[in-house]
Copies of this chain bind each other. A is one copy, B any other.
Amino acid sequence: MTNSKQIKIYTDIMKAEGEWAAKTRQLLADHKITMYNLIGSPGCGKTALLEALLPLLAANRRCAVLEGDVETDRDAQRLGHLGIPVSQIITSGACHLNAQVVHRAVSELPLEELDIIVVENVGNLVCPSEFDIGETCKLAVLSVTEGEDKPLKYPLLFREAGAAVLTKLDLLPHVPFDLDRCLDFIKRVNGELSVFRVSALRGEGLDAPADWMYARSAEPPQPAH
């Protein structure tokens, strides 16, 4: 069913998307903002991770969040108490955030007052990995309840990401998940990847990923004397 007209149009779309991503990247550079694109399965704990990480990040950096969901603004509501700008993008069925929509949402944030933007992509281990939204870096999120073979079965995300966060470590005693095998599988796919192990529920292991994200961002400007 694939023909040259289809390929042409697909190429046009991807080119336009690439241009939106480049515009976002320029906007971020102009404002010395680091943008992380958080990607993982539905229910892997992305929002819980943000709830736990953002207070640590916000102690040193000015942060904002873009929440991507197929339906509902439940995740934005969950983060509302953090006192930072949170925007909800509802894709109404689409399986990933696209660069144009993200560009618009980024443009509407108070960029002069930010050092870090975290985008929580649509819960999906496949599609969001394929789309550049202008982020500085993708972060892979994988919960130990999903099984240790996911890096082999969904390699693209782990290949593209700058770091991976293993979540729900508190459930490790209760699930058939071989941590060493998982780390080995991640290494096979991407030997460069930093891997962090956290339990957002228990507040454990959060300093390491917070430090990593923090170290890759610019300091807020010092107030003039």
Contact residues of A with B, CB < 8 Å? 1, 5-6, 9, 12-13, 16, 41-44, 69-72, 74, 93, 95, 100, 122-127, 130, 143, 145-147, 149-150, 152-156, 168, 170-171, 174-176, 201
Do B175 and A125 have beta carbons less than 8 Å apart?
A: no
The smallest beta-carbon distance between A91 and chain B, in angstroms, is 9
Query: Which chain B residues border A74 with CB–CB below 8 Å?
Result: 149, 152-153
Contact B145 A168 (CB under 8 A): yes
With CB as the reference atom, state the residue of chain B lying closest to A6.
Answer: B9
| Cβ contact of A171, chosen from B9, B149, B154, B174, cutoff 8 A | B174
A160 CB to nearest chain B CB (Å): 12
Whether B150 and A71, one on each chain, are in contact in the complex, defined by CB atoms closer than 8 angstroms, is no
Q: How far is the CB of A7 from chain B (nearest CB, A)?
A: 10
Q: Which residue of B lies closest to A171 (CB)?
A: B174
Selected from B9, B42, B174, the residue in CB contact (under 8 A) with A125 is: B42
Which of chain B's residues has its CB closest to A13's CB?
A: B1
Given contacts A1-B16, A42-B146, A123-B154, 5 further A-B contacts (CB under 8 A): A5-B5, A43-B150, A70-B154, A93-B130, A95-B124
Q: Which residue of B lies closest to A75 (CB)?
A: B153
Taking a contact as CB atoms under 8 Å apart, the answer to whether A126 and B5 are in contact is no
B residues less than 8 Å from A93 (CB atoms) = 126, 130, 156
Pick the 9 closest A-B CB pairs, nearest first: A43-B146, A95-B126, A145-B145, A42-B125, A41-B42, A41-B41, A43-B147, A95-B127, A1-B16
Contact partner of A127 (CB less than 8 A), chosen from B9, B126, B168, is B126
A133 CB → nearest B CB, Å = 15
Nearest CB of B to A172, in Å: 10
